Amino acid sequence: MSMKRYVAVRTIQTAVLLMLILTFLFMLFRLIPGSIADQMIFQGASPEAVAAFEEQWGLNDPLHVQYYHYLVNMAQLDPGTSLHYRKPVLDYVKLKMFNTFILVAPGVTAGYLLGTSLGTIMGIKRDSLLEKYGIFPIVGVGTTPSFFLAIIGVIIFAGWLGLVPTSGMITPQVALEMGEDAPWWKIYTTGDFLWHYVLPFSVIAIKYMYEPLLIMRTSVVEMAGQDFLHYHKLTGLPKARWIRHLGKHAIIPIITFYPISLGRAISGLVLIEIVFNWPGIGNALVEAVLQSDYPVIQFVFFLTAAFVVVGNYVVDIVYGMIDPRISIAD
């Protein structure tokens, strides 16, 4: 099967999957007990007012009509209005999402880069001291629950050493001084942001280092014993080139893992966000759940699922590009 067809098939599959997720969420939120109108208008409103409200927002329409409106709105990137903040969900979530993304994506990526490089070295230098003794602390740290790791980090680096702040993304004073008119991205360019950023970033990087390290180490050892790599060596390729070939083969499982890890981390590092009081999507979701802010929850759920699905999609495409043997059967 040609690459083009492979991409086309996977794209359609992914679109269908996203559609199913939307449908599932639509049903889920309509199965929750209690009327949406109750959530949205003050208690004690007259039945007429409630009826008028339901009429206005199409809550009395047949389900399939509601479903249609829901899909159209989602397609237009309009997930509704936050019940709590009374502003468009997208505007609210967008910023939270960015805060999470700017922390998690570089953190996980750094962890993967570190882990992959170190795993490669350990795989090549098998039985060295580094490989024998280096692995215990890394696995030990990596398997510690993330919130615990975060707390230890705060105690040591913020408490005892006082190098970094204990929590938050920016000192309120700095944000205030910037004024209302500053563009939204301005705070991310300040040194104060970086100062807040270092510790949570490091915790995530260390936490996400051990999985790629273990995978890469095993993969390198396994691949180095393959006949085609032995043949590469005997054709007289210089060591550096040989390692490049080895890496290209060994890294395939990492490439599969990375986007999935990233997708999960973006929606799943709630505990780290809470420990560091980072204004990201995890914190926002917890808040929204406590306030029964359904439109926000619904959209965050969708994003969460979409990241994983899109992550898998990217993996498949990249996989197909690096390994010509991968394709879908007709």
Q: How far is the CB of 220 from another protein (least distance, A)?
A: 15
Q: Does 64 bind another protein (CB under 8 A)?
A: no
Q: In whole angstroms, what is the distance from residue 205 CA to residue 115 CA?
A: 9
Q: Does 5 bind another protein (CB under 8 A)?
A: no
Alpha helices in 163-280 (DSSP H): 172-178, 191-207, 210-224, 227-234, 239-250, 252-268, 270-275
Q: What does 273-318 look like in DSSP terms, one character per residue?
A: HHHTT--SHHHHHHHHHHTT-HHHHHHHHHHHHHHHHHHHHHHHHH
68: Cβ contacts below 8 Å, ≥ 6 apart: none
| Residues of this chain, 133-152, that bind another protein according to CB under 8 A | none
Q: Does 125 bind another protein (CB under 8 A)?
A: no
Closest CB to another protein among residues 129, 161: 129
Q: How far is the CB of 313 from another protein (least distance, A)?
A: 22
From residue 136, how far is each of 131, 141, 215 by CA, in Å?
9, 9, 15
Q: In whole angstroms, what is the distance from residue 330 CA to residue 323 CA?
A: 18
| Residues of this chain, 199-238, that bind another protein according to CB under 8 A | 226-238
Q: How far is the CB of 66 from another protein (least distance, A)?
A: 50
Name the amino acid, one letter, at 241: R
Q: Does 329 bind another protein (CB under 8 A)?
A: no
Q: Does 69 bind another protein (CB under 8 A)?
A: no
Q: How far is the CB of 126 from another protein (least distance, A)?
A: 10
Closest CB to another protein among residues 62, 324: 324
# residues contacting another protein (CB under 8 A): 22
Closest CB to another protein among residues 91, 323: 323
Determine the angle formed by the axes of helices 146-153 and 191-207, rounding to 10 degrees.
130
Q: Does 317 bind another protein (CB under 8 A)?
A: no
Q: How would you label 286-303 residue by residue, b for 16+ Cβ within 10 Å and e otherwise?
A: eebeeeebbbbbbbbbbb
Closest CB to another protein among residues 73, 226: 226
269: Cβ contacts below 8 Å, ≥ 6 apart: 100, 104, 146, 204, 280, 282
Instruction: Report yes or no: 177 and 76 within 8 Å, Cβ to Cβ.
Output: no
Work out which of 4, 76, 325, 329 binds another protein, going by CB under 8 A: 325
Closest CB to another protein among residues 19, 322: 322
Q: Does 44 bind another protein (CB under 8 A)?
A: no
Closest CB to another protein among residues 113, 237: 237
Q: How far is the CB of 232 from another protein (least distance, A)?
A: 7
Work out which of 78, 91, 222, 323 binds another protein, going by CB under 8 A: 323
Q: How far is the CB of 234 from another protein (least distance, A)?
A: 5
Q: How far is the CB of 324 from another protein (least distance, A)?
A: 5
Instruction: Report yes or no: 99 and 196 within 8 Å, Cβ to Cβ.
Output: no
| Residues of this chain, 238-257, that bind another protein according to CB under 8 A | 238-239, 241, 245, 248-249
Task: Give the pair of three-digit tokens for residue 292.
Answer: 């029964």
Q: How far is the CB of 119 from another protein (least distance, A)?
A: 19
Q: How far is the CB of 37 from another protein (least distance, A)?
A: 59
Instruction: Report yes or no: 93 and 300 within 8 Å, Cβ to Cβ.
Output: yes
Q: Evaluate the CA torsion angle 183, 185, 186, 187 in order and state its sign.
A: positive
Residues that bind another protein (CB under 8 A): 226-239, 241, 245, 248-249, 322-325
